[in-house]
Structure 1
């Protein structure tokens, strides 16, 4: 059987795959053909649609900070950057900020992170306990030594809208999307041959693996690449509160539990305890996690949350990088033509603008031309060079 040929095939058409496709199509130096293969064009189960969709510069790694500094500019200008004809996409960006709280033992980490973030241009305020109490009078700061709050440049947005904006722009620029699953990937000469779930075979010279939590590791494995990425379930719970909690940012409790406004109410979540955090592909909501962990933690931090009415809840999945919880990006030396875009561990939506641009630059120009993302190269795993974040949420 003669396989249909494309210069570049992107496996995975959610926010990362669509950002890469969009940036390739927008690059005047790229002259090849691109195909995006997406197994579920409804996107009902993808992380892009189920995420809490937020952006922050409050990282401890400079590359992560730079990625999000670019990302916020992109989100602010999305109506212009991703317009198609007269249609200007909107993603309902709310720059309400992140508020990281630190107990006395973690204050030095907060101070160190804040110094780096502000040095790189992030608008982050360092707040002492009395300043926290004045600005957020509903907050219990009895055990808190300090907090860092993003005055601008941080907040939340419509993640599904961002994904669709990239997708619509890519399609408007001529990139086709095919609804199928890649069941087998194999080397063919200097390129690749892909077998799809509908039986069709496709060949390509360059292959981008953006298959997400459910497929990135499997696809890489078929090409002899061991990718330390697993699917980990994360649940989001919503609720309404009887009392007003005005000016609430995206609050990160020292325990790692988070809460932020959502419409007239709130949404919240947290990583489960380590003994419960195992590889998972189900979408079951464990309501006992809310009752036994999330609600008591939030009520202790925000006393107004003692009186709430629970609402909708859902589950999605992180493509968790077990090596260091950071993205795995770029070429694989042992498999020329293969590019990885995986392992975002919950940071994918906010990193999609910079990463999509970066992978497109690698494919087109053979190097990063705007922001150097080589700290997240696949080679760091074999070299045991983890990129470690001091605040992993």
Structure 2
């Protein structure tokens, strides 16, 4: 008899997991996804900038992204459904810029990890940068790291939509409701209680609740160091468009900017970066004039004359422990699993993380990528599995 699985959260992580479970043979009739907002209007997936990179400092994160690119490029084949469209992918690369000896040393260290892992990162001197990307002002720079392949923008919304659609078509149940309690009375997971008053029996409960992940964990008597953090995005047009694609550029100021079709997209972390309520999407828009525009105009002088056409605030499900994913079973509560804490990397990591946890739930072990180091028990034991390259 198959395990009854309840997935809390139906955005890209929950839907990836649901689809991969069915693809690996778990009966769809034994899978229920509980999503509090079936419009998905205010979840991390809705506000993502939808990019993927290989420039991480952790080899496992690089491998996770490499499968993500494979999935993006071969999405129709993997889904094996004639209705599924291709995923648009614009591989303009990432460009990390360093202006201090410490930042330069970090880029060199990460470059070694990336090359050893098969990534296409190249280190560039200021002269190299000026030659290949003459729109940058290279004053003060010491080094750049540019991803030459398999990095850039992809259409994550289409990926999410078809995972969800196909999971539903295969018989996965999606409920619009809110989990308000988790049954742990038998020393393991026994089911969940919903705001509607219904109770769902379950052998396995997966916390894929994004920014609400810590609240879900508390229902099970567990601590999860994940909290919502605001991240700002602006889309703008330029009076003098660049003559070539703009890589996703991570300036030493912390501001990032990239190509966005015929326009450009900039993002930033506020200087004061506290945890916020999951419902709080209000913005302190002075950050644009005070920090973001000055930084991008200084680095790319053509951006002195621009017009903002759109802006929004999204949330990271930010892991305060080591800024890395928290994925897998909890040793203290059999049957409870986490798929959370992606700290801004969720969309690009969703293919590998959904597949990996599906493997674990079906087979009792990871079969393709060993995701064990992401396990939540590392938090209780204080063993960090850090990711230093967080934007």
Structure 1 length-normalised TM: 0.95
Does residue 121 of structure 1 match 2:118?
yes
What secondary structure does 2:46 align onto?
Answer: helix
The 5 A counterparts of 1:279-290 are 279-281=276-278, 282-290=280-288
Question: Is 1:82–1:89's contact at 8 Å kept on the other side of the alignment?
Answer: no
Query: What CA distance in whole angstroms lies between the structure 2 residues aligned with 1:382 and 1:191?
Result: 19
Which residue number corresponds to residue 165 of structure 2?
A: 168
Which of 72, 79, 88 is equivalent to 2:84?
A: 88
What is the deviation of 1:30?
A: 6.0
Which residue number corresponds to residue 236 of structure 1?
A: 233
The 5 A counterparts of 1:296-307 are 296-307=294-305
What secondary structure does 1:227 align onto?
Answer: coil
What secondary structure does 1:107 align onto?
Answer: helix
Which residue number corresponds to residue 227 of structure 1?
A: 224
Query: What CA distance in whole angstroms lies between the structure 1 residues aligned with 2:363 and 2:3?
Result: 18
What is the deviation of 1:112?
A: 1.4
Which residue number corresponds to residue 313 of structure 2?
A: 315
Summarize the Cα distance change of 1:31–1:37 in structure 2 as closer, same or farther, 3 Å threshold: closer
Query: What CA distance in whole angstroms lies between the structure 2 residues aligned with 1:390 and 1:47?
Result: 21
Query: What CA distance in whole angstroms lies between the structure 1 residues aligned with 2:274 and 2:267?
Result: 14
Does residue 63 of structure 1 match 2:60?
yes
What secondary structure does 1:140 align onto?
Answer: coil
Which of 87, 92, 97 is equivalent to 2:93?
A: 97
Summarize the Cα distance change of 1:29–1:46 in structure 2 as closer, same or farther, 3 Å threshold: closer
The 5 A counterparts of 1:1-393 are 7-28=4-25, 33-84=30-81, 86-105=82-101, 106-189=103-186, 190-213=188-211, 215-245=212-242, 246-273=244-271, 275-281=272-278, 282-393=280-391
Query: What CA distance in whole angstroms lies between the structure 2 residues aligned with 1:367 and 1:37?
Result: 25
Range with greater deviation from structure 2 (348-357 or 172-181): 172-181
Query: What CA distance in whole angstroms lies between the structure 2 residues aligned with 1:15 and 1:22?
Result: 10
Query: What CA distance in whole angstroms lies between the structure 1 residues aligned with 2:352 and 2:142?
Result: 34
Summarize the Cα distance change of 1:11–1:169 in structure 2 as closer, same or farther, 3 Å threshold: same
Query: What CA distance in whole angstroms lies between the structure 1 residues aligned with 2:105 and 2:4?
Result: 50
What is the deviation of 1:130?
A: 0.7
* Cα deviation 1:178-208 (Å, max 9, x = unaligned): 1111121222534322111222111101111
* Cα deviation 1:252-292 (Å, max 9, x = unaligned): 1112211111122111111111x343324311122211111
What is the deviation of 1:389?
A: 2.5
Structure 2 length-normalised TM: 0.95
Query: What CA distance in whole angstroms lies between the structure 2 residues aligned with 1:318 and 1:29?
Result: 30
Query: What CA distance in whole angstroms lies between the structure 2 residues aligned with 1:254 and 1:138?
Result: 17
Range with greater deviation from structure 2 (151-160 or 348-357): 151-160
Unaligned runs of 5+ in 2: none
Question: Is 2:28–2:172's contact at 8 Å kept on the other side of the alignment?
Answer: no
Query: What CA distance in whole angstroms lies between the structure 1 residues aligned with 2:191 and 2:182?
Result: 6
What secondary structure does 1:339 align onto?
Answer: strand
What is the deviation of 1:102?
A: 1.1
Summarize the Cα distance change of 1:383–1:322 in structure 2 as closer, same or farther, 3 Å threshold: same
Question: Is 2:360–2:366's contact at 8 Å kept on the other side of the alignment?
Answer: yes
Query: What CA distance in whole angstroms lies between the structure 1 residues aligned with 2:137 and 2:303?
Result: 11
Query: What CA distance in whole angstroms lies between the structure 1 residues aligned with 2:100 and 2:286?
Result: 30
Query: What CA distance in whole angstroms lies between the structure 1 residues aligned with 2:269 and 2:90?
Result: 24
Query: What CA distance in whole angstroms lies between the structure 2 residues aligned with 1:330 and 1:391?
Result: 22
What is the deviation of 1:390?
A: 2.9
Query: What CA distance in whole angstroms lies between the structure 2 residues aligned with 1:164 and 1:146?
Result: 39
What is the deviation of 1:385?
A: 1.5
Question: Is 1:26–1:173's contact at 8 Å kept on the other side of the alignment?
Answer: no
Question: Is 1:83–1:169's contact at 8 Å kept on the other side of the alignment?
Answer: no
